[in-house]
Amino acid sequence: MNEIIAVKDQTIVKPGGDVVASMADAFKGELLSAVNSSQGTLVIDLDGVGMVDSVGIGVIIAAYNSLSQSNRQLKVINVAQDIYDLFSTMRLNRRFTVEAAA
């Protein structure tokens, strides 16, 4: 279950599970809704997420593209090491902020 929290000038979205094809449509809808109904930075908190597949990456990139059209930023935080390594290999960390879990 996804959780969306508005805090000051940012909106935090917590997927609550793996970001994979089986949940991608619902997650994409909620992300785009958060993009359209908020201002400032969109934060995707991947705490507890153990897997992001190619479809999930596509959803995150679509959110980034929507945000960048209005000069807004995307941050992906609490990223498990394997997922962080994948984002780095794909150089996504050059497009938006990616912070590894502590």
**pLDDT (tens place) for every residue of the chain, 102 residues total:** 678 898 888 999 999 899 999 999 999 999 989 888 888 999 999 999 999 999 999 999 999 999 999 999 999 999 999 999 999 999 999 999 999 998
C-alpha to C-alpha distances, 29 to 34, 35, 46, 63, 87, nearest whole angstrom? 9, 10, 17, 10, 22
CATH hierarchy code of domain 3-100? 3.30.750.24
Contact criterion met (CB below 8 Å) for 42 and 11: yes
Answer whether 0.85 is exceeded by the pTM.
yes
Phi and psi at 95, nearest 5°, equal -95, -40
* Number of C-beta neighbours around residue 82 at 10 A: 11
| pLDDT tens-place string over residues 45-60 | 999 999 999 999 999 9
Contact criterion met (CB below 8 Å) for 80 and 50: yes
